[in-house]
Structure 1
C-alpha cells in the first residue's frame, strides 16, 4: 500500500496497545499509584489489582524485522505476521514485524543497494524480480526462495464477452495481440502482470522469425495504448463496462476488483495454449542476526503452514503448490489453468528490450537502391517489386508519431556527382504538409519508385549523406536511424572508396548522438562483409535477405532492435 505521494507505507503488525493484564497482590495492601513504573494499583473488592498500562504491556526489547512485499500480498503478510507476534507473546526478544508495500522495481534497488532501507524479508510477486536482484548482486546472491503463494496470469474481460467465449471458444494469445479481440496491457516496466504477459506471449507463440515479426508488429500497436499500471486498466474497465477491452492481470487482482464492482464484473480468461503466473517467493535478505533470523524463519513457517495457506486462499491467491483456486464472485467461474514454462532472466530481458524498442518513437530515413540491377528477378518478382512491397508494409504499420523520410539512390541520381535523391523529407506520419499527409506522401512515392531505376550502385556516397542528414537534426526523444536496402556493391568510381567512407564515419561519430545505419542486402551481388562493416561502425546491424519474405521480416526486426543501438 502506498501513501498519496506513492511512498511505501510502513506499519508494524504488533499493536501498540495490548489488552490490560492483571496481577493479584496481597489482600489488604494500601492502594498506591506507581505511574513512573508504568504500574497502577487500584483497590478491587477489598484487594488490590495491578494493571499494566500501554507502555508496560508492549514487548520488552522487541526484535524488529522489516518485510517488503507487494500491495496485493500486504494483507496476507500482515495477518500472518500478527499471528506470529501473538504466539510469541511479550517476552524479551519477541518479533515486531514492520510490513512495507513497495513496487517490485523499487524493492530490487532496496535489496541490492545494501543500505539501511534493505528489508530483512522480501516477498515480491514474481521470481523474475529475484533473478533480477541476483544478477545485480553477482556472487552475493540471495538464498533460495520458498514460494508461499501464486496467482495465474489471466485476461480480464467483461462478463458479456466472456459469455461469448464460452460458445465460440477461448481466444488465443495471437488473437489478443493481433487485434481480432480487443485488448490493452499495462507497462511491463512497471507492472508484473504486463511483464509476465510479454514473456508468456513469447513462450506461447514460439520464436520463429515469422511469429516474432507478427508479435513485434502487434506490440507496436499495444504500446501506444498501454496503461501505466494494471490498476489504471481496472479503473477504465469500471467506467467502460461491457465495452472495455480485455487486459492481462492476475487471477487474484480480478477477484479483488469483482468484489467491489458487482455492476461491472470482469471474468478471468486463460488464452490458449496456456499462461504464466505470478508467484510469491519468500526471500531472506542479507545475513540477519540470530534473533532476526529466528523471527524470519517463524514467519516463513507460518506462511507455509496449513493456517497460513488458508490466509493465502482467503485473500484470493492459490496455494504455494498451485492447488485449488480462490472463491470466485457469484456469476464468475475460475478458469482451467495450463501453466507454460517459467521465464528466465534472458527471456525477460528480451521481452523488455522489445517493448522498449516499440515504445520509443522512431526517426528513420529509408534509402532504397534503384540501380539497374533492381529489375532482375528475386523469387519470381523483380527486386524492386519486393523492395516496394516491404517498404509499403512497413510504412503502413509504423506508429502515427513516427518520423520517416524516403530517398532513392544510384549513380548521379540527382545530377552529376550526387548519387541520392530525396523523394519525401523526414516528417511525422500523422502530420500534413502542404495539404498532403506524410504517410500518404510516402506510400505514393514508394508506389512510383520504379520510375527512377537506372545507373549503377552509388553506395558509399549515399550512406555518408544519409548518415549526415539524420544526424543533422538529431532528436534526443527518438531513435534516429538510417535503413538502407541494396542489391549490389559500390561501383561509383568517382565517389568515396570504402576506406574513405569508414574514416569519415569514425570522424563524425558522436556517442551522445548515435545514428545506427541498418543495411539490408538482397540478391547474389551483395558484398555482405562490407555492409556488415559499415553497419557495425555506426552501431547498426546488417541483414542479408535470401528470399523475398526475408525483406519484410528484416524491416520489422530492424525496428524492434533499434532500442539497443548503438550497443547491440
Structure 2
C-alpha cells in the first residue's frame, strides 16, 4: 500500500477537521426516512432499517453544523450547505466575498452538513456541495430541484486503508482489489474488515457499489457475483463503522510490538487518509486503490432552482480555487478508470439495501439438497453453453459455502430414493460448527467439497415432504435462545415417485401438528427449475414462518440462494 497515494498534490498545511459520518444518530434516522420516501417514489418501496439514537452535538466543527433553516442572520444573501470535509475550503472562499467585515452577518452562510441530512431537511439551501453527485439524484427524486453547474469542484477516490502491519496480504504498491480483500478475509489472513454505513455514508454507499461491480467482473452469472459480494458482507466485523473514529482508535491503540489488534482494513476517501497521514501519527496508515471497482467521492456545485442571487453564486464558485482544494487534499480531476455512477440512484440504493438488511446472527441451519433424477436434466448455463441442473448447483453451491459466518452451525443432507428400499435422505456433512474439523477439514471446506462432488442418481424419486418433516423434527430439538434455527430446502420438482410419497394435504397436516411456537424452525425453500411446485413450497414455508424463493429459470439459482441467505440473516 502506498503511504502517499499516487497523484500526490502536495502537503496539507493543517489537518482538516472531519465531522462524524452520517452513520451516527440523527443523520442515519433522517437519511433513512428520506430514502424511504425516495424508494416509494421511484422503486415501489423498500424496507430500510431505522435507527433511533439521539444526535450528538459536533464540538470541533470548522464551520457550524446546523440546518440552513436555523439561520438567525437576516442579512444573509446566500445559504450554502457543503459536505463537512470540503466545508472549510468553501467557508474560506465565502469570507473573501464579505464586503463589510464589520457587519454581524456575512452575506454567505456556509453550513457543514452530511448529505443525508440535507436530503432529509425540508429547508433546502441555495447552493449545495455534497460528497457525491448521486445525492443530487436522490434529493431531486424526492422533490428537490438542484442543478449541477459545470464539472464537480473536486474528487477524492475511495481507498482501502490499514495499518502498515496488516497491508501486505492485500496490496502491491498502491494497487489492490475488492476480490483480494474478500479472499484474504475469507482465508483468515486479515484481523478484520469494517465498512461505513451503506445507507447513510457516501463512502459506504459507493464502496458497496464498487464491491458489486468488482464481483460482476469475475463471472457471467449475476447471482454468483451477488454471492461473492455477500461473502465480504458476511465477514465484516462492523458494517456501520466511522472511519474517523477508526483512525482515532488506531492512533490510540498502538502497542510496543507495532500491532493494532482490533482494526484491520477499511475504506475511506483519499482526502481523509491524506489528512491523517499529514497528522504525523505514530501509527502509519497506508492505502491502496481497489482497481477492480474504483469509485470516488466527487463534489458537485449544485444550485437550487429558487436561488435568488445568481451573481453571488457565480462569485462563490470562482472563489473556490483549485489550489485551495488541492491544498486540502482533494484532486482536481477524477482518477482514471473510475466507475461511472448509475443513471438512476435507485440502482445504488438497491445494492445498499441488500447490504444493510444483512444482520449478523448466530445461526443453526440444516441444508436439504434435492438429489433426484430430474437434477440431471440439461439446461443452458448463464453466459451460454450447456450444463445440467446438478452442474449449475455445483457451481453455485461452491460459492454459497463461503457465505456462512464463523458462528454458524450447519449440516447437509441429500434427499432422493434411487431404489424402493433406499432411505429418503442421507447425511453428507455432519451437523456441527462450521469452523470445527470434519475428516481433517473444516466443516466449511467439507460443505464446499460436498457441493463439488454432488451428483444426482438417474431415475431417483423425490421424497421431498418426508425429508422436510424429518429435517424440521431434527432441528427443533436443537433450538436454543438467541440463535436462529432454520431448515433450507432446495428442490427442482415436487414430492413423488418414492415409497414416501404423500399428498400435500397429508403433509401440511403433519407439518402443522409438529409446530411448536416456543421452538420455531422456519423453512426457507428454494424452488429450482420450471417443474417445481412453488405453491407447495410457499405453503410449507409460510406454515413455519419461513419464505419461498423461486428460480423457475435455472439460471436464476444463484440469485435465489442469495435471497434465501439474506432472509436467513434478517431480524425476526
TM over 0.5: yes
Instruction: Evaluate the alpha carbon distance shift between residue 450 and residue 172 of structure 1 in structure 2; reply closer, same or farther with a 3 A threshold.
Output: closer
Q: Confirm or deny: 8 A CA contact 2:493 2:533 kept in the other structure.
A: no
Matched residue, 1:45: none
Moved more, 526-535 or 216-225: 526-535
1:400 offset after TM fit, Å?
1.6
Q: Confirm or deny: 8 A CA contact 1:545 1:551 kept in the other structure.
A: yes
Matched residue, 2:314: 301
Matched residue, 2:153: 148
Matched residue, 1:40: none
1:10 offset after TM fit, Å?
10
- Cα distance in 2 for residues equivalent to 1:479 and 1:68: 45
Q: Confirm or deny: 8 A CA contact 2:157 2:294 kept in the other structure.
A: yes
* TM-score, length of structure 1 as denominator length: 0.63
Q: Confirm or deny: 8 A CA contact 2:495 2:502 kept in the other structure.
A: no
Of 271, 277, 282, the match for 2:290:
271
1:278 offset after TM fit, Å?
0.5
- Taking only aligned residues, the RMSD between alpha carbons, in angstroms, comes to 5.7
Higher RCO (C-alpha under 8 Å, 6+ residues apart) = 2
* TM-score, length of structure 2 as denominator length: 0.62
Q: Does residue 56 of structure 2 align to residue 6 of structure 1?
A: yes
Moved more, 121-130 or 90-99: 90-99
- Cα distance in 2 for residues equivalent to 1:407 and 1:377: 21
Q: Confirm or deny: 8 A CA contact 1:354 1:561 kept in the other structure.
A: no
Matched residue, 1:201: 211
Of 490, 499, 511, the match for 2:495:
490
Instruction: Evaluate the alpha carbon distance shift between residue 465 and residue 70 of structure 1 in structure 2; reply closer, same or farther with a 3 A threshold.
Output: farther
- Cα distance in 2 for residues equivalent to 1:555 and 1:397: 10
Q: Kindly provide the CA deviation profile for residues 250-290 of structure 1, in whole angstroms up to 9, marking residues without a partner as x.
A: 111111101112544434432325621111234456856xx
Q: Confirm or deny: 8 A CA contact 2:212 2:229 kept in the other structure.
A: no
1:486 offset after TM fit, Å?
2.9
SS in 2 for 1:457: coil
- Cα distance in 2 for residues equivalent to 1:123 and 1:468: 58
Instruction: Evaluate the alpha carbon distance shift between residue 505 and residue 393 of structure 1 in structure 2; reply closer, same or farther with a 3 A threshold.
Output: same
Matched residue, 2:135: 129
1:231 offset after TM fit, Å?
1.6
Instruction: Evaluate the alpha carbon distance shift between residue 422 and residue 197 of structure 1 in structure 2; reply closer, same or farther with a 3 A threshold.
Output: same
Q: How does 1:34-73 map to 2 (within 5 A)?
A: 61-63=74-76, 67-73=80-86
Q: Kindly provide the CA deviation profile for residues 528-562 of structure 1, in whole angstroms up to 9, marking residues without a partner as x.
A: 65577658966431235859xx9778645642566
Instruction: Evaluate the alpha carbon distance shift between residue 426 and residue 7 of structure 1 in structure 2; reply closer, same or farther with a 3 A threshold.
Output: farther
Q: How does 1:81-100 map to 2 (within 5 A)?
A: 81-84=94-97, 86-87=98-99, 95=107, 97=109, 99-100=111-112
Matched residue, 1:517: 524
Instruction: Evaluate the alpha carbon distance shift between residue 464 and residue 133 of structure 1 in structure 2; reply closer, same or farther with a 3 A threshold.
Output: farther
Q: Confirm or deny: 8 A CA contact 1:157 1:269 kept in the other structure.
A: no
Matched residue, 1:342: 341
1:167 offset after TM fit, Å?
7.2
Matched residue, 1:259: 278
The alignment covers a number of residue pairs equal to: 482
Q: Kindly provide the CA deviation profile for residues 329-354 of structure 1, in whole angstroms up to 9, marking residues without a partner as x.
A: xxxxxxx6432212442332232133
Q: Confirm or deny: 8 A CA contact 1:373 1:487 kept in the other structure.
A: no
Instruction: Evaluate the alpha carbon distance shift between residue 472 and residue 285 of structure 1 in structure 2; reply closer, same or farther with a 3 A threshold.
Output: farther
Of 87, 99, 107, the match for 1:74:
87
Q: Does residue 170 of structure 2 align to residue 173 of structure 1?
A: no
- Cα distance in 1 for residues equivalent to 2:378 and 2:445: 27
Matched residue, 2:565: 559
Q: Does residue 268 of structure 2 align to residue 249 of structure 1?
A: yes
- Cα distance in 2 for residues equivalent to 1:488 and 1:440: 28
Instruction: Evaluate the alpha carbon distance shift between residue 217 and residue 164 of structure 1 in structure 2; reply closer, same or farther with a 3 A threshold.
Output: closer
Q: Confirm or deny: 8 A CA contact 1:353 1:564 kept in the other structure.
A: no
Q: Confirm or deny: 8 A CA contact 1:521 1:543 kept in the other structure.
A: yes
Q: Does residue 532 of structure 2 align to residue 527 of structure 1?
A: yes
For the pair shown, the structure with the greater C-alpha radius of gyration is 1
Instruction: Evaluate the alpha carbon distance shift between residue 347 and residue 70 of structure 1 in structure 2; reply closer, same or farther with a 3 A threshold.
Output: same
